[in-house]
Amino acid sequence: MIETIRSAIAPVHRAGWPFVMIGAAAMVLGYWIWAPLGNIFAVATGWVMYFFRDPDRTTPVRTGLVISPADGRVQLIAQAVPPPELGLSDGARTRISVFLNVFDVHVNRLPVDGTVIAAHYRPGKFLNASLDKASDDNERMSLAIKLADGRDIAVVQIAGLVARRIVCDIGAGAVARAGARYGLIRFGSRVDVYLPAGVAPLVVVGQRMIGGESVLADLDGRETQRIGEVR
């Protein structure tokens, strides 16, 4: 019974505990002032714990798989040049954009095994993260990861309309493991993955992703880009 309860309740990411403590203090003060106010703060504190939940994920580990770095919905698939600050080639690549709403798990995970060869934070605007121009204009944290076969992938955390803080726990020189936690974005956001040239995505716009589990692409596959239908 206890194990069942533990499996159903995800732990809180460490970045969320300061907010939980503030909420708990506000809840106690609210109950001291007026019980209904305490109830409001109790609900708010519960929502903060829910937002910062950090469940374990089971990651497919076959060589060549590109794993979704975030929970959310595939918002856009387009040809685009990676952020220039990463120093990658200027050619356009397939970019897969996963949009996270405020109810999604916001802990981000690395998409591939490899070595982080560049990490760059760039301040910017806070446009709606579902817009295409958010990739260029919004605040972002970009990583370039070199794969064992010499190819590279870029993964970019993008702040959204209400997001005001990007957390990235690794930098250049770090060893990347597919599915491993590496950061989060607070309160609504987007994560872009730039595939190596010639690699087709295995997902379609509108599809739901599970960070650390869903496969975005197969670097060794020969399948052409998929299409999808709402059914």
Same domain for 203 and 91, yes or no, is: yes
Q: What is the per-residue pLDDT for 129? A: 67
pLDDT in tens, 203-221: 999 999 999 999 999 999 8
pLDDT in tens, 26-53: 999 999 998 889 899 999 999 889 888 9
Same domain for 43 and 154, yes or no, is: no
pLDDT band at 2 (very low <50, low <70, confident <90, very high): low
Same domain for 36 and 70, yes or no, is: no
Domain end: 10, 29, 51, which one?
Answer: 51
Round to the nearest angstrom and report the end-to-end CA distance of the chain: 38
Same domain for 167 and 106, yes or no, is: yes
Same domain for 47 and 154, yes or no, is: no
pLDDT in tens, 89-104: 879 999 999 999 888 9
Same domain for 79 and 36, yes or no, is: no
Indicate whether 225 belongs to any domain. no
Same domain for 159 and 83, yes or no, is: yes
CA atoms lying within 13 Å on the CB side of residue 13: 22
Number of domains in the chain: 2
Higher pLDDT, 133 or 35: 35
Q: Over range 108-133, report the average pLDDT.
A: 87
Tell me how crowded residue 168 is: count the other CB atoms within 10 A of its CB: 16
Closest by CA to 190, choosing from 145, 153, 213, 160, is 160
Output phi, psi for 142, to 5 deg: -115, 140
Higher pLDDT, 18 or 175: 175
Q: How far is CA 142 from CA 5, 84, 204, in A?
A: 37, 10, 23
Q: What is the per-residue pLDDT for 1? A: 52
Q: Which residues are catalytic, by number?
A: 189
Same domain for 21 and 88, yes or no, is: no
Q: State the pTM of this model.
A: 0.90
Q: What is the per-residue pLDDT for 7? A: 56
C-beta separation of 122 from 200 below 8 A: no
Same domain for 117 and 47, yes or no, is: no
In this prediction, what percent of the chain has a pLDDT beyond 70? 92
Indicate whether 56 belongs to any domain. no
Higher pLDDT, 119 or 9: 119
Could you give the dihedral angle defined by the CA atoms of residues 139, 140, 141 and 142, in that order, rounded to the nearest 10 degrees? -150
Q: For position 83, which CATH number holds?
A: 2.70.70
Helix (H, G, I), strand (E, B) or coil at 50: helix
Q: Choose the weakest-confidence range: 43-57, 150-164, 168-182.
A: 150-164
Integer Cα distance of 216 and 223 in angstroms:
12
Same domain for 110 and 144, yes or no, is: yes
Q: What is the mean pLDDT of the chain?
A: 90
DSSP state of 34: -
pLDDT band at 77 (very low <50, low <70, confident <90, very high): very high
Closest by CA to 142, choosing from 189, 198, 194, is 194
Integer Cα distance of 196 and 112 in angstroms:
12
Indicate whether 114 belongs to any domain. yes
Indicate whether 20 belongs to any domain. yes
Indicate whether 60 belongs to any domain. no
Range of the domain at 173: 65-218
